[in-house]
């Protein structure tokens, strides 16, 4: 297994210096900057971010961003209690409004994921604290939880939402997958239990070596491999 310092050096060599690498890794904005801050976020922000990433999946992100104020307005600023009280007929009616993206199946996830948040709160006392307390050494376990108990939060949708919220996580981008395959660390399906466990173990080892976040390591791998050519003002696919 390659050392994180070798990965870092290769990223530096490919991107024209350490300053460029750090600049490329820095632009991604999050709602919280630590697990302490994450634990204080309202349930509405979790539901909003899950919903945004569900709609952005397989769609033009810019269009979702442009329509997002209407989403917030139509769904009561993602107030969990109000969402749970919505009858299915109202949900279907709102899904037809051209001010949002008219996809009823995705709109249905709003109520379903509100139920997940509410259920966790009943069992754990706080959904935000539940997410914040989940150990990053088993971040794939949190991915699995969201996929199992939520709707359309599998694949990279759940991880992208967690990343934006401020939960430290790596992402299984094409460059990250290419790295693991090129170094023969995984051979089967990317999301098989064996592959995910191997990837998690590697990230845990790299984090122990460097003290870097999973997010930073994920970015370094993306910058150190593949055919990507980023300019300093662009956000890398990490």
212 in any annotated domain: yes
Range of the domain at 64: 35-165
Same domain, 61 and 148: yes
Q: What is the pTM of this model?
A: 0.91
pLDDT of the chain along its 238 residues, tens only?
999 999 999 999 999 999 999 999 876 789 999 999 999 999 999 999 999 999 999 899 999 999 999 999 999 999 999 999 999 999 999 999 999 999 999 999 999 999 999 999 999 999 999 999 999 999 999 999 999 999 999 999 999 999 999 999 999 999 999 999 999 999 999 999 999 999 999 999 999 999 999 999 999 999 998 665 444 333 334 4
Same domain, 101 and 116: yes
Same domain, 12 and 116: no
232 in any annotated domain: no
Same domain, 11 and 56: no
Q: How far is CA 178 from CA 182, 183, 195, 203, 225, in A?
A: 6, 8, 13, 15, 8
| Alpha helices for 187-236 (secondary structure H) | 193-210, 214-224
Same domain, 119 and 197: no
Query: Are the C-beta atoms of residues 47 and 117 closer than 8 Å to each other?
Result: yes
Same domain, 126 and 17: no
Domain boundary among 165, 197, 216: 165
Domain count, the chain: 2
């Amino acid at each position: 297994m390659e050392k994180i310092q070798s990965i870092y050096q290769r990223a530096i060599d490919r991107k024209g210096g350490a300053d460029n690498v750090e600049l490329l890794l820095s632009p991604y904005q999050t709602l919280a900057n630590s697990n302490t801050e994450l634990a204080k976020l309202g349930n509405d922000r979790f539901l909003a971010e899950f919903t945004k990433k569900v709609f952005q999946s397989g769609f033009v992100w810019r269009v979702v961003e442009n329509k997002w104020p209407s989403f917030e307005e139509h769904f009561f600023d993602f107030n969990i209690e109000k969402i749970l009280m919505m009858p299915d007929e109202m949900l279907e009616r709102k899904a037809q409004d051209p001010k949002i993206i008219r996809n009823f199946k995705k709109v249905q996830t709003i109520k379903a994921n509100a139920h997940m948040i509410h259920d966790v709160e009943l069992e754990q006392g706080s959904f935000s604290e539940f997410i914040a307390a989940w150990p990053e050494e088993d971040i794939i376990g949190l991915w699995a939880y969201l996929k199992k108990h939520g709707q359309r939060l599998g694949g990279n949708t759940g991880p992208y939402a967690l990343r934006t919220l401020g939960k430290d996580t790596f992402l299984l981008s094409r460059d990250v997958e290419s790295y693991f395959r090129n170094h023969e660390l995984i051979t089967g399906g990317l999301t098989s239990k064996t592959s995910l466990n191997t990837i998690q173990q590697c990230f845990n080892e790299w984090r122990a070596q460097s003290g870097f976040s999973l997010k930073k390591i994920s970015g370094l791998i993306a910058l150190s491999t593949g055919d990507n050519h980023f300019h300093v003002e662009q956000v890398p696919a990490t």
